[in-house]
Structure 1
Amino acid sequence: MRVVIVGNGPAAVSAIEAFRSVDTESDIIVLSDEPYPAYAPNCMENVIRGDISEEALFYKGGYGFYEKYRVDFRGGKQVVSIDNKRKVVILKGGEEISYDKCLLAAGASAFIPPIPGKELGGVTTAKNLDDAKRIREWVLSGKVRKAVIIGAGPIGVEDAETLRHMGVEVSVVEVFDRVLPRMLDRYMAEKYMKVLEEEAGIKFYLNHQVVAIHGEDGWVEAVEIQQAGSDRRKFIPADMVILSTGVRPRTYLVENTDIKLHIDEVRGRVVGGILVNQYQQTSDPDVFAAGDICSGLDAWGNHRWIALFPPAVQGGMVAGFNMAGLKVKNPGLVDYNAVKTRLVTAGSGGTFEDAESSLSFEYGNYLVKVFLKEGKVCGYQFVGLPVKKPINPRNKFLKGEIQIKGMGLEASGVLFHHFIRLRYREVTPAVIEAIRKGFLRALGLPAFEVPLFIRE
């Protein structure tokens, strides 16, 4: 059997590991438009700062990973479409590669809004490794003293703090009324943003839209913005502009096929990625999808597009097992995230937009908010405010004092497993006491967890 995997991110490598644990003989071909071995996509701000080792960045062991799992890795090969009737993937230039089973794990691409001036030099996205290397090169060259980041999502705020750490003056423009609008409600977002404003010196322009990017001699010089409900415009000086305006799943790969997309039946429009079932199969049983390219089933059995690292890993493993012949069901994609900023951190899981009520707890430097619907937990948020502590002298990347945030992605994962994926989702007095005292790890005891994968 020949398995062709389109993409080389977390979903792809997890699928390879799962597949090879069952099938050691079949051929695996990995096609990636990037030349690099698998790298940690959530560490691009570390690349910009220059504080991540090669071992940590290429977290699967570099090119040795493909040798270990007997994978034919073909970097720099851009897949433009798939023909599932003829069972081939089609590369740029016309080359076709046949498959018996195919995994679409090409992720999502940066969304570039139609802003006048976006083609100027100094304007970039910050989605992949080449982007991060480009930004670092510009900053180290001394060419960038003022930067404007368009978008205050996780990548935007992480890059903002990173650039301030490198001595760049940073302004962040956000069209919504708060930072991290998909992660935090207004109250929690204000707590988070206040630290970045007062301690990092980042300037935020909320409720503002970018009108145009201006420059001379082919390089950016200023960003023109306008506040919602006002005719007044402002020009922010800039030597560099980072477009952090979200991502879009690479659904163009199945554009001319009968493979189904995630469509809102009421509105009649696409609202996510390629639609997959509990086995990560698309509407074509020989074509699987995992990661940011697809919409999978969440913990409540609803199809959702979740462009995050944990569900990519989980979905990839489920796809890998099933392509190898096992019958493995995904009981619900995980949905938790945390922002890796040094001064202050934030995290969330589940949903909060349609919550009926909420509970808030404070303990030390932790602020946790739990959202309820029909008496059950439907989501949570937390903000970990800074506490100064001496650093580990053996850490070669840090000097002086560091702000300890208290809670990050691991804590967000623990909260998710407790609140969203437990057999018992009621908020009991014992749970409230555990949150108040900061005993988050205790909530992740194996006795309470639902298995990630179900073997049928």
Structure 2
Amino acid sequence: MNRVIHVPLHRVDIGQADSRTVDDMGERMVVIGGDATGMAAASQARRLRGSDELEIVVFEKGNHASYSACGIPYWVSGDVAAADDLIARSPAEHRERDIDLRLRTEVTEIDPAGRQVLSRDLGTGAQSWTSYDKLVLATGATPVRPPLPGIDAEGVYGVQTLDDGQEVIDGIAAATGRDAVVVGAGYIGVEMAEALVRRGFRVTMVTRGAEPMSTLDPDMGALVREAMVGMGIRVVTDTEVTGMRTGSGGRVQAVTTADEEYPADVVILGIGVRPATDLARRAGLPLGEEGGLLTDLAQRVRGYDDIWAGGDCVEVLDLVSGTLRHIALGTHANKHGQVIGSGVGGGYATFPGVVGTAVSKVCDLEVARTGLGEKDARRAGLQFHSVTIESTGRAGYFPGAEPMTVKMLAERRTGRLLGVQIVGRDGAAKRIDTAAVALTARMTVEQVISLDLGYAPPFSPVWDPVLVAARAAARAVARGH
């Protein structure tokens, strides 16, 4: 069959032009971003279509591809020995599968009308245009860096890529003192605070929230704070950071607030992330209220038949609230890549949405949540009952039984499960998966009570903590007030 290759003549004077000719019979898939979504999409497309049918080019501006960013705090702490342990598949392995992976090459412009992208080699500075038949945006997210004095000083680190992790490790080794400040108390902030304690630092965490981990309700976040304080971490809440004080050499020396100053040889920014969609915005692609790209169920960018997007740069449908949200998690990113690769490769797959499940830990305290918290439910206009119960992870008489707190939200009148939060030890975190399945199935708390969950004294009481919470929630719904 004949195909038309779009290469606008006014573009080819910038660096080297695309070398493909109209005699080429295959299609070209261009991927921007070489981590979870991008490489999963490329790999899945390659499984479905051979090299003679589909050329795959991946641009990645960093030094690594296919790695677990979620593992960086455990690399910093020493639980993971080396960066290579976090890499799922090496660049050489991708290239052996005929995926043209170009590291340290940044895409600086997308031309949707001409179906081509402009890239720049970060080593040589050379620029060139590459045409595409199928384009995948997997640009991820970037750490929030508010415009505060000293935010870019030496010794202040964001944590998003393997390169960031290496900078933190090098910075820790170079620090002359042992004071560290973590700004922000999300998942990364909490995990990095623990990592720094384990590396022998005196750690202060400063957050503007009422408690650590704003994805939890404050009463559950208080349990996390108590555990952090027990580890020797100073937790400063309801406090806004105003800047970083630096020394004569430009290295950070302290983190400042309106009322106090906290010594800092190392500062970790754990304020959160935002979708990395500046490139998409300049190309005129559709963005949602939280700045993420808008896609259909097949992860195709709305209004564009030849562009897909996934991972931390998109907004996803919250199946509980029915709203679009930006949720940066590797689980979603990998699934998006599979869906995209299937679509590009001629197959069919969709991504229906999420319920917002996440787990973390502070020392041996496990933290988990799924669905809506109280603030989320109110924002969605839902009325609800909220219950909190105390239980244990094993039968109370069995050695090693530890306390566990479960909070559950149920919709008024209908009793539909809206959200669950769990804080405890002894297998607390993975119990959230029961709640995640129940949320996806739109079960009521009355239905959750009847779930046939596994029981044996070493693993659970006769009534699992999730079921105990469901009983309490069902009673609240029945009372109706």
* Fold-level similarity (TM above 0.5): yes
Q: Is 1:126 aligned with 2:120?
A: no
Matching of residues 19-38 of structure 1 within 5 Å: 19-25=45-51, 26-38=54-66
Structure (1 or 2) with the larger CA radius of gyration: 2
SS in structure 2 opposite 1:29?
A: strand
Q: Quick check: 4-13 or 278-287, which moved more?
A: 4-13
The alignment's TM-score, normalised by the length of structure 2, stands at 0.79
More strand by share: 1
Cα contact 2:56–2:98 (8 A) shared by 1:
yes
Q: Is 1:253 aligned with 2:279?
A: yes
Matching of residues 270-285 of structure 1 within 5 Å: 270-283=289-302, 284-285=304-305
SS in structure 1 opposite 2:170?
A: helix
Matching of residues 67-78 of structure 1 within 5 Å: 67-78=95-106
1:286 aligned residue: 306
1: CA distance, partners of 2:404 / 2:245: 42
Question: Which residue of 27, 34, 43 maps to 1:8?
Answer: 34
Q: Is 1:377 aligned with 2:417?
A: yes
- Counterpart of 1:156, as a letter, is G
Q: Is 1:351 aligned with 2:382?
A: no
Post-superposition shift, 1:340? 3.6
Post-superposition shift, 1:57? 3.2
Question: Which residue of 168, 173, 190 maps to 1:157?
Answer: 190
Matching of residues 40-439 of structure 1 within 5 Å: 40-53=68-81, 57-92=85-120, 94-181=127-214, 183-198=215-230, 200-217=231-248, 218-226=250-258, 233-262=259-288, 270-283=289-302, 284-300=304-320, 301-333=322-354, 335-352=356-373, 353=375, 354=377, 356-364=384-392, 365-373=403-411, 374-385=414-425, 405-408=426-429, 410-416=430-436, 418-422=437-441, 424-428=443-447, 429-431=449-451, 437=462
Aligned-residue CA RMSD in angstroms? Answer: 2.4
Structure 1: state its 5+ residue gaps: 227-232, 263-269, 386-404, 443-456
- CA-to-aligned-CA distance 1:204-242 (integer Å, 9 cap, x gap): 11000111211212111111113xxxxxx1111111111
Distance 1:129 1:384, change over 3 A: same
Cα contact 2:110–2:280 (8 A) shared by 1:
yes
Distance 1:157 1:55, change over 3 A: closer
1: CA distance, partners of 2:462 / 2:385: 22
1:18 aligned residue: 44
Post-superposition shift, 1:19? 1.8
The alignment's TM-score, normalised by the length of structure 1, stands at 0.83
- Counterpart of 2:157, as a letter, is T
- Counterpart of 1:339, as a letter, is S
2: CA distance, partners of 1:11 / 1:288: 11
1: CA distance, partners of 2:139 / 2:177: 32
Distance 1:278 1:113, change over 3 A: same
Post-superposition shift, 1:367? 1.7
SS in structure 1 opposite 2:41?
A: helix
User: Number of paired residues?
Assistant: 406
Cα contact 1:9–1:41 (8 A) shared by 2:
no
2: CA distance, partners of 1:337 / 1:319: 23
Post-superposition shift, 1:86? 0.7
Post-superposition shift, 1:430? 2.5
Cα contact 2:254–2:265 (8 A) shared by 1:
yes
Post-superposition shift, 1:431? 4.2
Identity of aligned pairs, percent?
Answer: 27
Structure 2: state its 5+ residue gaps: 1-26, 121-125, 393-402, 455-459, 468-481
- CA-to-aligned-CA distance 1:141-170 (integer Å, 9 cap, x gap): 452400111100100010001100111000
2: CA distance, partners of 1:363 / 1:30: 49
Cα contact 1:31–1:78 (8 A) shared by 2:
yes
2: CA distance, partners of 1:377 / 1:43: 31
Post-superposition shift, 1:327? 2.8
Distance 1:143 1:55, change over 3 A: closer
Q: Quick check: 102-111 or 132-141, which moved more?
A: 132-141
